[in-house]
Amino acid sequence: MKTKTTLFIIIFAFVIISCATNKNISNEKLYNTIWELGYISGPRIAFDGLYPDKKPKISFNKENNEVSGNNSCNGYTANYTITGNSIFFGEPEPTTMMFCGEGEKVFLNMMKKINKYSFDQDGKLNLIIDDVPMMRFKKAGTKTINDLAKSKPATVPENQINNKADVYFKASGTEPFWFLELSEQQIKLKTITDSIITPYTAPLQARDSNVKMYKIQTESSRLNMQITQSECTDAMSGKLSPYTVSVEYKKNAEPSLHKIEGCGAYITDYRLHDIWVLEKLNGKSMDKTNFNSDLPSMEINSTTKAFTGFAGCNRMNGKLFFEKELLRFTDIATTKMMCDSDNNENAFLKAFRTATTYKIENNRLWLSNPSEELLIFKKID
């Protein structure tokens, strides 16, 4: 009897160890692979209708517990945690900002609900809610251990870690999927397999065209970028962007540079998005008597990069041209009403058209050019 009991304990222990080993093996299958979505449960729209062009992909980074990829339109990243066969994803964070169809929303919402995973006999990855498979992925590519080593981002000082509100330029591309962010503190490049973060470096500016060139060398990586004001079409979505971006990068251990291209745009300062009324023109305080009516005012929409307003006699509208530390009002159109001779509308419009820089402080918007301060507006609610 004692011998049977001992034998039972040994067998039981062997089963437990085998299960634990299988879980570890199962866990390891997640890594070194790019997974492409082949099935998603729930939506009434057919799978190929949700993702008519490219299918969502994900890739797991074991070192930093981060999953990254694309949802067929935009790139995304999210944290994840694994315990046994349980898996939980953090809030997916978009890395590009293209307008997309229903498929993106379905994919990201489903990711947030997943709580388990498994692999079927064909080696496909199932993401599960409770016991119901909701998403199924097939292998779309393999990353080597060296590739994983490359994906560890270069370190930056803690006080230089990016605040999303400071990002003023974003770019992205496909084949492979990548995204780029510029802020006052850092430059961040991310692909499905690599991530490089460097301190911000001022660009070289071409004299005869709007081209900015960045050349950055750190202890761990090299990054060259060129941002050109030239209309660019996203290869997958067809979306137009005002800037063409080319990037060369490599970790120092690599023998040659990787070259990628894509499209980008500056993110207009959200603080401009408001209604502003004129307070000073060419250094002089203004009131209604200077315009025989109401003071000039404008409402800026930072999302559409457009404005509408009143020039002191006529209505006006136009567009914004925004870059880092640069603001111009372009394509200005006005109505054609006759104005009194002592109305300062012409002086206002002349100053308005020649403004190239701005600052916002104490609910005031200053518009200037390299020679002088031109206009001061006061924010009104």
Residue 285 tokens, joined:
């305080």
Query: What pLDDT is stored for residue 306 in this prediction?
Result: 94
Q: What does the block give as tokens for 375?
A: 């206009």
Put simply, whether the predicted model's pTM sits higher than 0.85 gets the answer: no
Cα separations (Å) of 45 from 101, 102, 202? 12, 9, 47
pLDDT band of residue 151 (cuts 50, 70, 90) is very low
Tokens read off for 161: 């870690």
Exposed e or buried b for every residue in 262-272, given b needs 16+ CB within 10 A?
bbbbbbbbeeb
User: Do residues 373 and 341 lie in contact, with contact meaning Cβ atoms separated by under 8 Å?
Assistant: no
Q: Which residue has the higher pLDDT, 62 or 360?
A: 360
8 A C-beta contact, residue 212 and residue 326: no
Higher pLDDT, 52 or 101: 52
What was the pLDDT predicted at 155?
37
Share of the chain above pLDDT 90, in %: 44
Confidence class for position 247, pLDDT limits 50, 70, 90:
very high
pLDDT band at 162 (very low <50, low <70, confident <90, very high): very low
Residue 163 has pLDDT above 70, yes or no: no
Amino acid at the residue 202: A
Is 368 a residue whose pLDDT tops 80?
yes
Exposed/middle/buried for 104, CB within 10 Å: 0-12, 13-18, 19+? buried
What pLDDT does 193 receive? 79
Report phi then psi at 275, rounded to 5. Answer: -105, 130
DSSP letter at 138 equals E
Q: Which of 12-21, 58-67, 81-90, 367-376 bottoms out in mean pLDDT, i.e. has the lowest? A: 12-21
Q: Is the model's pLDDT at 190 over the cut of 60? A: yes
How many Å apart are CA 320 and CA 314, to the nearest integer?
Answer: 19
Position 11 pLDDT exceeds 70: no
> How far apart, in Å, do the first and last CA atoms of the chain sit?
87
Mean of pLDDT values over 199-214? 91
pLDDT at 226 (0 to 100): 96
Mean pLDDT in residue range 4-11? 50
Q: What percent of the chain has pLDDT over 70?
A: 82
Phi-psi label, residue 159: left if phi above 0, alpha if psi -120 to 50, beta otherwise: alpha
Q: pLDDT tens digit string along 168-184?
A: 999 998 877 888 999 98
Residue 166, pLDDT > 50, answer yes
